[in-house]
């Protein structure tokens, strides 16, 4: 094993010298060799991916190179050192019964994710700080970081975040597709009765939650928030934040993506945007696919001016609430068009988003995420086993190895570390931030 690592590194060095001497453009094989060597040396970290509720069942075990986009054989092949796995529950009824069911579903997802480290302790471990991510990676294991996407299971109970903190959660995203009791989504589900800017950004409970997240040192995830919600978070937070899976609106004009103004606000906060490999947010759909989507919309009475990469309209005008069964059918049909594999975005188009963000706000405020197992994936990076392809494309475009290390997790880990340091310095709560020993399964 040592000889293999030396050989790859030596080969990469010879390639660099040869290319520098001749001025030639490196071949794909040469770029791949350099990418593999670099990927071995850096702590490559994916800031957002999901696992399905049947993950861990026969054929879907973390230790099996199976059909999902993430498992331990794939991360070993892709030389990925860690990832934030989302305790994600879709938005549902904002009733006591709905919130209680969401809490149960979140606990089930928590058990699935922590089960990866529990079942494969020689290959994976839970990390509760950036330092632990690095320690676990140095041990040759995969670092699993617990995040929450969609605060729906909390309802309006801000104190509920303390329980999740004790369970090891260190990243929190307020919303997904649809408003909840904490904040407005960038994609309010008008077809199911949501309203635009219901809270005007964050609700009162959401504003209180920002303070508690800061006190605990939980990194705030601003992806999916409405523009007003993002504004509220940035005005209230005492620590840098991350958009763990977002893209740029200048490329795909949709409120789910961040505008140039929002990118600059994120930079001024000291935060980071983690560019997502979700095809619909990476590039606009071809006109013929847009027309197929509009045909589905017309069939269900949904306005055709709906943003091309969304199942929910941008404007409330002409929108009527669909019955549950009809909405589910519409949602399935529209996503079959929008996520058609034949029109999936390419790796080059994905890196175009990285290029844009880097030019706009600087390489220190940009990173990488996959959104795998929740619609993410582009041609060339369709599972974690292909992660080195991203590195090869960045090398092709002239990014330095130091900047690639920043993009592949260095920036994200720095921002997360700063959020934890701010809590350690300012929090006086008796149950203030504590971290578990490196590699301990929670």
Per residue of the chain (442 residues), give pLDDT as tens. 333 333 444 444 444 434 434 446 778 999 999 999 999 999 999 999 999 999 999 989 999 999 999 999 999 999 999 999 999 999 999 999 999 999 999 999 999 999 999 999 999 999 999 999 999 999 999 999 999 999 999 999 999 999 999 999 999 999 999 999 999 999 999 998 999 999 999 999 999 999 999 999 999 999 999 999 999 999 999 999 999 999 999 999 999 999 999 999 999 999 999 999 999 999 998 899 999 999 999 999 998 877 766 767 878 887 889 999 999 999 999 999 988 888 999 999 999 999 999 999 999 999 999 999 999 999 999 999 999 999 999 999 999 999 999 999 999 999 999 999 999 987 654 454 544 434 443 4
* pLDDT score at 107: 98
Q: What are phi and psi of 409, to 5 degrees?
A: 125, -25
- Residue 11 domain-assigned (yes or no): no
Residues 149 and 241 in one domain: yes
- Residue 18 domain-assigned (yes or no): no
Residues 6+ apart with CB under 8 A from 333: 296, 300
- Residue 36 domain-assigned (yes or no): yes
- Residue 12 domain-assigned (yes or no): no
Residues 365 and 320 in one domain: no
- Domain end (from 342, 358, 376): 342
- When divided into structural domains, the chain yields a total of 2
- Residue 277 domain-assigned (yes or no): yes
CB count, 10 Å around CB of 339? Answer: 15
DSSP code at position 251:
T
C-alpha atoms less than 13 angstroms from C-alpha of 192 in its C-beta half-sphere: 21
- Residue 210 domain-assigned (yes or no): yes
| Strand-pair category, 366-369 with 272-276 | parallel
Pair 279, 344: CB distance under 8 Å? yes
CB count, 10 Å around CB of 41? Answer: 13
Pair 178, 188: CB distance under 8 Å? yes
- Domain end (from 294, 326, 342): 342
Residues 294 and 242 in one domain: no
Residues 151 and 291 in one domain: no
- Going through 21-141 in order, the beta strands assigned E by DSSP cover 45-49, 82-88, 124-126
* pLDDT score at 427: 61
* pLDDT score at 309: 66
In angstroms, the CA 414 to CA 272 distance is 9
Residues 145 and 89 in one domain: yes
Residues 318 and 376 in one domain: no
Largest Cα span, the chain: 68
Contacts for 301-306: CB closer than 8 Å, 24+ residues apart: 302/191, 302/330
* pLDDT score at 3: 33
Residues 349 and 305 in one domain: no
Pair 38, 74: CB distance under 8 Å? no
* pLDDT score at 236: 98
Residues 334 and 414 in one domain: no
Residues 150 and 61 in one domain: yes
CATH code where residue 39 lies: 3.20.20.140
Write out the residue range of the structural domain in which residue 187 sits: 31-283+345-426
- Residue 197 domain-assigned (yes or no): yes
Residues 337 and 409 in one domain: no
Residues 6+ apart with CB under 8 A from 357: 248, 263, 273, 275, 365, 366
- Residue 66 domain-assigned (yes or no): yes
Q: Model-level pTM?
A: 0.91
Residues 6+ apart with CB under 8 A from 211: 236
Pair 300, 265: CB distance under 8 Å? no
Pair 206, 174: CB distance under 8 Å? yes
Residues 262 and 315 in one domain: no
- Domain end (from 342, 359, 389): 342
CB count, 10 Å around CB of 349? Answer: 18
Residues 236 and 202 in one domain: yes
């Amino acid at each position: 094993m040592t000889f293999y690592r030396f050989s790859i590194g030596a080969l990469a060095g010879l390639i660099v010298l040869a290319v520098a001497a001749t001025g030639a453009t490196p071949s794909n094989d040469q770029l791949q060799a350099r990418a593999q060597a670099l990927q071995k040396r850096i702590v490559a970290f994916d800031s957002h991916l999901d696992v399905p509720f049947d993950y861990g069942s026969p054929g879907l075990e973390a230790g099996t190179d199976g059909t999902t986009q993430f498992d331990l054989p794939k991360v070993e092949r892709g030389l990925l050192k860690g990832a934030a796995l989302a305790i994600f529950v879709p938005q549902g009824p904002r009733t006591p019964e709905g919130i209680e069911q969401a809490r149960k579903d979140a606990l089930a997802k928590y058990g699935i994710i922590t089960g990866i480290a529990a079942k494969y302790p020689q290959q994976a471990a839970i990390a509760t700080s950036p330092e632990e991510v690095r320690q676990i990676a140095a041990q040759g294991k995969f670092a699993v970081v617990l995040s929450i996407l969609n605060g729906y299971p909390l309802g309006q109970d801000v104190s509920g975040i303390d329980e999740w903190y004790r369970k090891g959660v260190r990243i929190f995203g307020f919303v997904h597709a649809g408003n909840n009791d904490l904040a407005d989504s960038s994609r309010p589900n008008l077809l199911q009765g949501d309203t635009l800017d219901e809270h005007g950004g964050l609700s009162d409970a959401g504003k209180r939650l920002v303070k508690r997240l800061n006190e605990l040192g939980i990194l705030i995830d601003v992806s999916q928030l409405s523009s007003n919600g993002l504004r509220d978070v940035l005005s209230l937070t005492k620590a840098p934040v991350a958009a763990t899976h977002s893209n740029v609106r200048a490329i795909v004009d949709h409120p789910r993506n961040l505008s140039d103004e929002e990118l600059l606000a994120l930079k001024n906060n000291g935060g980071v945007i983690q560019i997502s490999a979700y095809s619909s947010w990476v590039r606009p759909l071809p006109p013929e696919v847009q027309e197929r989507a509009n045909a589905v919309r017309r069939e269900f009475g949904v306005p055709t001016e709906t943003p091309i990469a969304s199942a929910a309209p941008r404007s409330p005008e002409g929108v009527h609430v669909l019955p549950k069964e009809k909405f589910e059918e519409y949602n399935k049909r529209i996503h079959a068009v929008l996520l058609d594999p034949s029109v999936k975005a390419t790796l080059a188009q994905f890196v175009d988003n990285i290029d844009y963000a880097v030019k706009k706000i600087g390489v220190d405020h940009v990173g990488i995420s996959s959104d795998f197992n929740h619609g993410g994936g582009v041609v060339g990076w369709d599972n974690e086993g292909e992660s080195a392809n991203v590195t090869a494309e960045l090398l092709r475009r002239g990014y330095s190895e130091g900047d690639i290390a920043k993009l592949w997790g260095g920036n994200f880990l720095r921002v997360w570390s700063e959020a934890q340091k701010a809590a350690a310095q300012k929090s006086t709560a008796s149950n203030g931030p504590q971290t578990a020993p490196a590699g301990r399964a929670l």
